[in-house]
Amino acid sequence: MRKYIGLVGTTTAKSTNRQLLKFMKRHFEKQATIELIEVSGLPMFNKPQDLKVPQRAVEIAKKINSSDGVIISTPEYDHAVPAVLMNALEWLSYGIHPLLDKPVMIIGASFGSLGTSRAQAHLRQMLDSPEIGARVMPSSEYLVGHVLEAFDKDGNLCDQEKIDQLDALFADFEQFVKISKELWHTEKADRKAIQKLDKQDFK
Ligand SMILES: Cc1cc2nc3c(=O)[nH]c(=O)nc-3n(C[C@H](O)[C@H](O)[C@H](O)COP(=O)(O)O)c2cc1C
């Protein structure tokens, strides 16, 4: 059984994005293990004088490293991802690069009708940077708009069509994870390029 990380893109205590990941964890439990990880506990990113990456970032990186893939659920703040998620990604691309060549599926929930489509495009662009270098599943968007009405009292998605869409997307993601293992030709060059970038800071 594959092991995935569900990265919660917010630190808000009552979050619909966390709820969505929790739903996925339960809904797919016979197929895969999904461990939720919070982006809390990280200081605001600035290049540390002692070049030390915070222990919390190292812990998150370890979990991502030992997973088969990452599902990121992001809210949308001002047409972008929340600053806390961006902050976490900055720490995860400074000296440590756990997302390099890691299969990633992006999902999101928001109060608006567009359900994080702009935040997802923003996140996709970030994940594609050389410092992060994730393998983001192409041609896929899972948007839960008007999310305040999307869950029932047990935390399950109400709309069967939305569940069917998630089932299909998750099946594709599992396939994508499998295919990604065969895309290893650039791995060495990617690592080398990142080491070169790191050298500019970590001399
Ligand atoms: C500062 C701020 C900016 C927001 N900007 C957007 C936005 O651009 N688009 C949108 O659909 N919702 C926006 N929202 C509403 C969020 O979609 C809503 O708070 C969302 O559910 C957050 O996810 P959560 O339930 O996981 O916390 C904004 C909310 C805040 C607090």
Q: Which SS3 state, helix, strand or coil, does residue 1 take?
A: coil
What integer is the mean pLDDT of 47-71?
94
Q: Quick check: CB of 82 below 6 Å from ligand 1?
A: no
Question: What's the rounded Cα separation, in Å, for the pair 201 and 131?
Answer: 12
Q: Do 132 and 99 form a contact (C-beta atoms < 8 A)?
A: yes
Q: Do 28 and 170 form a contact (C-beta atoms < 8 A)?
A: yes
Q: Quick check: CB of 83 below 6 Å from ligand 1?
A: no
Q: What's the CA-to-centroid distance between 24 and ligand 1, angstroms?
A: 21
pLDDT exceeds cutoff 80 at 154: yes
| Atom 30, ligand 1: residue with shortest CA distance | 77
Q: Is domain 2-201 given the CATH code 3.40.50.300 in the classification?
A: no
**Angle between helices 83-91 and 55-65 in degrees, nearest 10:** 80
Q: What's the CA-to-centroid distance between 77 and ligand 1, angstroms?
A: 5
Q: Quick check: CB of 13 below 6 Å from ligand 1?
A: no
Q: Quick check: CB of 78 below 6 Å from ligand 1?
A: yes
Q: What pLDDT sits at residue 170?
A: 98
Compute the half-sphere exposure of residue 184: CA atoms within 13 Å on the CB side of its CA: 3
Q: Quick check: CB of 54 below 6 Å from ligand 1?
A: no
Token pair, residue 162, equals 């939305």
pLDDT exceeds cutoff 70 at 203: no
Q: What's the CA-to-centroid distance between 119 and ligand 1, angstroms?
A: 10
What integer is the mean pLDDT of 46-60?
92
Q: Do 132 and 102 form a contact (C-beta atoms < 8 A)?
A: no
For the segment 157-178, what is each residue's pLDDT rounded down to a tens digit? 999 999 999 999 999 999 999 9
Token pair, residue 172, equals 């594709």
Rounded to 5°, angle at Cα 202 from 201 and 203: 100
For the segment 64-81, what is each residue's pLDDT rounded down to a tens digit? 999 999 999 999 999 999
Q: What pLDDT sits at residue 197?
A: 86
Query: Tokens 């009552």 map to which residue?
Result: 14
| Atom 27, ligand 1: residue with shortest CA distance | 15
| Atom 3, ligand 1: residue with shortest CA distance | 77
What integer is the mean pLDDT of 188-194?
90
For the segment 107-128, what is each residue's pLDDT rounded down to a tens digit? 999 998 888 999 999 999 999 9
